[in-house]
Structure 1
Amino acid sequence: MPTPRRAAVHRVPMRHPGDTAAIEALFDSGALDPAAVVAILGKTEGNGCVNDFTRAYAVQALSHMLARRLGTTAEAIRAGIALVMSGGTEGGLSPHFLVLAVTAGEAANPSGALAIGIAFTPDFAPEEIGRMAQVDATADAVRRAMAEAGISDPAGVHYVQVKCPLLTNDSMAQARARGAAVATEDTYASMGLSRGASALGVALALGEVARVEAGGIGRDWSKFSGRASASAGVELERNEVIVLGNSMAWAGDLRIAHAVMDDAIDLPAVRRAVAAVGMPLEEGQVPAAMADCLVAVLAKAEPSSSGRIRGQRHIMWDDSDINATRHARALVGGVIAGVVGRTDIFVSGGAEHQGPDGGGPVAVIARPARV
C-alpha cells in the first residue's frame, strides 16, 4: 500500500503583493516545510485587468523567496510550483495568500480527506489562446492533476483552479508576423476568452459537458463548469491547474465542499457549501469561535450578461469608471463574507463558463468544528 499523503492549507495575510513575510514565518516556526509546498494562491490588490502587474510582482517575490529557501533558481520554482495570483480585492476583500502543501500522512482517512493535484499545460502560442487548443490542453491537464491526486471519479473533485494567459499587443504582433490570426484583437476581451476556454476544458474533463464547439467559446453560456475557477494574467504563457477534491486515500482532517451560486446574491448556495463541510451557522453566520476551522473560501464572480439580478437592473456593465468584474468581486465578496464572518476570501472575477450566467461556484475548505 502506498504511503497516504496529507494536504495542508495555510491562509496568511499580505501587506502588499511582494510581502512574503507571513509565509516565511511559517517556515521559520517549523509549521511548514518549504519543500512540501506545491502551490500558492494569492489575492492581490490590483485591478484584476490586463495591466494588473501586482500579480507578476507577487509571483516574482514568491519565486525568489522559495528559490532562496530551497537552494534553487526562481525559474525552477516557477516550473514546478503553481503560483496562481488573482488581482482585485474590491470592497472589503482582504489581500492574502493560500499556501498548499503535501506531506506524508500516517493513515488514510476512511471518511475522505482533502486531496491536491497539480498539472501544467505547455506554453500556448498567441493564436491558441481562447480556442480549442486551450480547451483540449486544459482538459488533459485536469485529468493528469486528478491522477496525481488519486481521484478517479470526477464527483470527488470540488474545485479546479486554473491560471491562464492573455493576449498583449506584443504577442498579437508576434502572431501577425507569422501570419497567424488571434481569437480577438482586444487585450481585455482575451482575458474572458482565455478564462472561458480554460473553464470549458475543466467541464470537458469532469464530464460536465459532453463536447465543446469552437464557436461556443465565449458565446454559448449554457455550457459551463460548476467547479472551475479561471484567472487570466500577463505573468505566464501556459495554464497552471490545481485540482482540489476529497479522497479516501489521503490523510488528515481537511475536507472540501462546493455549491454553485445561481446569481451574485445566492446566499443559500454559500450556506450549503459551508454546511457541507460540517461548519455550524449561528444566526446565519459561522461563529467567531470556529474561525480557525474555516481554512479557505474560494469563489467566482461575474456580472450577469442580462444587466439584471432577479429582474432588477444593475449598472456593472455601464460604469465607465470601474470595471464590471471589480463591481462583481465586491458584491459577491460581501455576500460570502456575511456568511463566513471573514473577508480574506479568494473571490476571482470573470466567470465565463464558470457557473451559470451571473453566478459561479463557491468552495469551502475546513477541518471539523470543535464544539
Structure 2
Amino acid sequence: MRTTSAGVVRIATKGPGDVSGLMSMIDSGAIDPREILAILGKTEGNGGVNDFTREYAVAALCTALAPRLALTPHEVEQRIAFVMSGGTEGVLSPHITVFTRREVEGRPALLSVKRLSIGIAQTRDFLPEELGRTAQIVETAEAVKAAMKDAGILDPADVHFVQIKCPLLTSDRVEAASARGNKTVTTSAYNSMAYSRGASALGVAVALGEIAPDVRDEHVLRRYDLFSTVASTSAGIELMHNVVIVLGNSASSVSAFEIGHAVMDDAIDATAVSAALQSVGLGIASQAQAGRELVNIFAKAEASPDGTVRSFRHTMLEDTDISSTRHARAAVGGLIAGLAGTSAVYVSGGAEHQGPPGGGPVAAIARLSD
C-alpha cells in the first residue's frame, strides 16, 4: 500500500466566483495545484433547484486552475472532485475547503497512529428514472468502496465522513424519462433532491455495513430507521452522476491532520458537536488546544420530520416563505459556530438517511502541530 500525505486548508471567499484566496496560496507555494484532489465549498445561494451559485463556483475554480494544470476547464472538473453546497444562512460564512494529497517515500517508524486520508470516486451517469431508487443506492455503494480503496482505508470504522454530490430531476429530465415510457420517482424537482440525497446516503450505509444490502426503492424516504452515521449528500443540477469523497484515518497516511466524528440526534445536540471536537483533541470554542488547531467542521442538518425537537413543536416544515432546509442550516450552523468558535463551518441541509431523523453526522478535522 502506498504512503500518502493529505493536506487541508480552509479559504474564505467574497462570492461564488472568488478564486483569489486559492490563487494567492498557489502563487505563494502554499498549495501545489497538482496535488489538489477535492474542493468542498459553501456558497451564498439558496441551496435549491435554481441555485446556480454552485455551478458558477465550480466553473470559476476550473477556469482559474486550468492554466496552472495545463488542462481545459472540463478536464479540471474531471480530475478534481468539486462539491459546492448552497446556503449560508444565519452566521454561516462562505468558504472553500481544499484537500490535497501527495505520495511520499517510505513511512517514519515513529508514526504508528492513523492520520487523515482522502479518496475519491464517481458513479456512472444515471438515467432520470434511476434517481432515488435502487440503482443509485447500488452504484453509490460501489463508488464508496472504490473511494475507500483510493484513500487506503481498510476498516469501515476508520471512515468518518463521506461527502457526495448527487443529481436532481428537472422538467426536461422527467420528460426524457417519460418519452422512453418510464416514470421518475417524483415529478417535482425540489422533492427529487431529497430522493437523490436519501438514496445516495443509503448507498454509503450499505458500503460501510451500517445496514443490510437488501435496500429497495420503497425504503427511500420511508424507512428512516435506515441511515448512515457518516454520510453527507448534497443534490445539484450541474451533474447526472454521484461524486464521492471519503474522509477517514489510515495507517498508510503521514498527514499532519486527523478527522473524527459524532452523530447529532437532533438540531440542538451540542453534546455531539462537543464529542466531535473532542475526538480530534479539541475543546469547545477553541481554535487551538494542546498542540492542535481546528481546520473545519462538516455537518448535516434537517428539520425533524415529525415536527418536533425534544417534544416541542417546530414550524420549519410549515413555513411557506422559507424552505425548511434553510431554517435547519441556520439553526445548526449557529449552534456549531458557537461551539467551534468560528462561523466558517460546512453545514449542509437535507439529511435524509444521514443520521437519525432530525439529526445528522458532524465531523471535525484538526491539524496536529506535534
TM bucket by the smaller chain?
over 0.9
Counterparts of 1:299 and 1:268, CA distance in 2: 14
CA contact (8 A) 2:132 2:217 kept: no
Counterparts of 1:264 and 1:304, CA distance in 2: 8
Structure 1 residue 78 corresponds to structure 2 residue 80: no
Structure 1 residue 221 corresponds to structure 2 residue 220: no
Structure 1, residues 299-348: CA drift from partner, whole Å, max 9, x if none? 00000011110011111011111100000000001111111100000000
Q: Secondary structure at the match of 2:101?
A: strand
Structure 1, residues 231-257: CA drift from partner, whole Å, max 9, x if none? 000011110000000011111220000
Question: Counterpart in 2 of 1:268?
Answer: 271
Question: Counterpart in 1 of 2:297?
Answer: 297
Question: Counterpart in 1 of 2:40?
Answer: 41
CA contact (8 A) 1:167 1:191 kept: yes
Question: Counterpart in 2 of 1:250?
Answer: 253
Structure 1 residue 190 corresponds to structure 2 residue 192: yes
Q: Secondary structure at the match of 1:160?
A: strand
CA contact (8 A) 2:287 2:293 kept: no
1:260 deviates by: 0.2
Aligned 1:1-371 pairs, distance under 5 A: 3-105=2-104, 107=107, 109-211=111-213, 212-279=215-282, 281=283, 284-287=284-287, 293-368=293-368
Structure 1, residues 86-138: CA drift from partner, whole Å, max 9, x if none? 00000000000001110123535321110101000011110111111100000
Counterparts of 1:151 and 1:100, CA distance in 2: 17
Gaps of 5+ in 1: none
Counterparts of 2:137 and 2:85, CA distance in 1: 20
CA contact (8 A) 1:8 1:101 kept: yes
CA contact (8 A) 1:105 1:250 kept: no
Counterparts of 1:182 and 1:304, CA distance in 2: 26
Counterparts of 2:96 and 2:292, CA distance in 1: 16
1:288 deviates by: 6.3
Q: Letter of the aligned partner of 1:360 in structure 2?
A: G
CA contact (8 A) 2:133 2:216 kept: no
Counterparts of 2:129 and 2:9, CA distance in 1: 37
Question: More displaced, 256-265 or 206-215?
Answer: 206-215
Distance 1:292 1:88, change over 3 A: farther
Q: Letter of the aligned partner of 1:81 in structure 2?
A: I
Counterparts of 2:2 and 2:155, CA distance in 1: 21
CA contact (8 A) 2:160 2:230 kept: yes
Q: Letter of the aligned partner of 1:241 in structure 2?
A: V
Question: More displaced, 107-116 or 4-13?
Answer: 107-116
TM-score, length-scaled by structure 2: 0.96
Q: Letter of the aligned partner of 2:356 in structure 1?
A: P
Gaps of 5+ in 2: none
1:367 deviates by: 1.7
Distance 1:277 1:73, change over 3 A: same
Counterparts of 1:184 and 1:23, CA distance in 2: 39
Q: CA RMSD in A?
A: 1.5
Structure 1, residues 19-50: CA drift from partner, whole Å, max 9, x if none? 11111111100011101011100100000010
1:213 deviates by: 2.1
Counterparts of 2:68 and 2:344, CA distance in 1: 26
Question: More displaced, 104-113 or 211-220?
Answer: 104-113
1:369 deviates by: 6.2
Question: More displaced, 65-74 or 121-130?
Answer: 65-74
Counterparts of 2:291 and 2:257, CA distance in 1: 14
Q: Secondary structure at the match of 1:221?
A: coil
CA contact (8 A) 2:115 2:250 kept: yes
Q: Letter of the aligned partner of 1:317 in structure 2?
A: L
Q: Secondary structure at the match of 1:251?
A: coil
CA contact (8 A) 2:288 2:294 kept: no
Q: Secondary structure at the match of 2:162?
A: strand
Q: Letter of the aligned partner of 2:74 in structure 1?
A: E
Counterparts of 1:18 and 1:101, CA distance in 2: 21
Structure 1, residues 165-218: CA drift from partner, whole Å, max 9, x if none? 000011111111111111100110000000000000000000000131221101
